[in-house]
Amino acid sequence: MKYKYEICILLEFLVSVLYFIKKLIVFFTMTWLAFTANASVTVNVLASNDGLFAYQSTNDPNDLWERIRSGFALTAYDDKEVRKNEASYTRSQIHIDQITARSKYYLYYIVEEVERRGMPLEIALLPIVESAFDPKAKSGSNAAGLWQFTASTGKGFGLAQNRWHDDRKDVLAATHAALDYLQYLHNKFGDWKLALAAYNWGQGALGRALDDNRKKGLPASFHHLKLPVETSNHVHKLIAIKNIVANPAAFGIKLDAIPNKPYFAVIDVDNHIDIALVARLANISIKKFNKLNPAYKQAVIKVTDSPRQLLLPLAKASIFLRNIEAYDKSRLTRGNDIAADVTIVRRKPILKAGVTVVYKLPIVRRKPAFKVTATIVRKKLLLSQQVDDFISIKQFIYIVKKGDTLSEIAGRYGITVKQIKLWNSNNERLAIGQKLVLIVKSLGTIGTSQKKTV
């Protein structure tokens, strides 16, 4: 067609005009509602080069979304890529509900950390772009976790990756590392959009693109860079999510409320401990434990030089501490026996938001009254096992002798080669005089010898 190009330009212009008119209608409608319907609703206006953007404030101090809205600080802008992403994210209310449901476990903590560092609260929404708030998410390039660290970048920021745990998936460690990285990038490039682009593309690649623009006499800004589609879209997605969170009603969707209070407590453990045992003592499912502690790859949490951190629902952390203290008693604390804000006596602190609980596990002197058994030798909690009857478990050090093999040692003590390797950092080669940790059924008993079942 002779005028095909001109018609396309005209259609794009008309779409932009209609979108701007829609924004104005939303703005004036919400302003009218604020003055005529509900005194507790206010309308905030963000100005940008592309027009006005209004967002609704409920002034509810218990609403985490409202707290996030009040901390928005990135410059507002509008373009067709942002609009495409707005449409994509709001196409399904079910998708929005799924993201919200996953985020409720972690979002309060992330908001606290972002605020503490004085960063724009849009940054707290970045895990929606990176992983849809799935801490076990893994990309095609092998990036992992809420913040999608690659293996090399993760190691550079102290995120350990071994057969026991992958700290790229650790909620606390990965959040600290991601915010450290973003602050570093912001300090280097002086702009949050450039920092976000570098987070996705790499600081070296972004630095070279900025140098190329300067050599050509072009502005060294996000909007003037020639970026990969994925990188530019990465920033556009975050702006789109910001717009949606700012005013969900304008997009025809609803954000389920998230309480503006901590979801979990942090407990340091300095001894090996079995995940099934932690879940039992905290009166939670293993599935719930894994939601809060997705970094652990084995059934056992192995502690080496420094303590490992466990996240437990705030209402369950007190139960865990009470039960680990009473582990050698005849009964366990049930889920409704104590409140979340209970004052714990005898070495146990009051649980408060933002306080890390450091707790040394006690020595077990009698059999526990449930089907997970363990004993603690020299204040080290050993591996627990699921058993039909109560048995005692014993740890000792075996000195390797001439001619010993793993299979012979395993057969002698009724254990497996796999277990020996698990307890001894996967060592396969033996040397005379080498010390092996072995965990076996004890010939003696702890406490009464009467068998019990639950």
CA distances (Å), origin 205, targets 179, 186, 198, 218, 227: 20, 15, 8, 17, 10
Q: What is the pLDDT of residue 374?
A: 32
Which tokens is 121 given? 């609260």
Q: How many CB atoms lie within 10 A of CB 434?
A: 14
DSSP annotation of 436 reads E
Cα–Cα distance measured from residue 70 to residue 124, given in angstroms and rounded to the nearest whole number: 13
Q: What is the pLDDT of residues 26-79, one digit of tens each?
A: 445 444 444 443 433 333 444 333 333 444 455 677 999 999 999 999 987 878
332 touches 326 (CB < 8 A): yes
Q: Are the CB atoms for 78 and 16 separated by under 8 Å?
A: no
- What are the residue numbers of the active site? 130
pLDDT of residue 48: 34
The sign of the CA dihedral 250, 251, 257, 258 is negative
Q: How long a stretch of residues is the chain?
A: 454
Residues of the chain predicted below pLDDT 50: 1, 5, 26-27, 29-56, 328-393, 442-454
H or E element that contains 149: none
Q: How far apart are CA 286 and CA 275, in angstroms?
A: 7
For 389-412, write each residue's pLDDT tens digit: 333 445 677 888 888 888 888 888
pLDDT, residue 406, reads: 86
**H or E element in which residue 43 lies:** strand 42-48
In this prediction, residue 326 carries a pLDDT of 76
pLDDT at 23: 53
Q: Alpha helix locations (H) across 374-445?
A: 406-413, 417-423
For 329, the token pair is 């008693």
Instruction: Record the tokens describing residue 380, joined without a space.
Output: 């080290």
Instruction: Give the pLDDT of residue 396.
Output: 74
| Ordered structural domains, the chain, with CATH | 4-251 (no CATH), 264-358 (no CATH), 388-441 (3.10.350.10)
Q: How far is residue 132's CA from residue 114's CA, in Å, rounded to a whole number?
A: 18
pTM value? Answer: 0.66
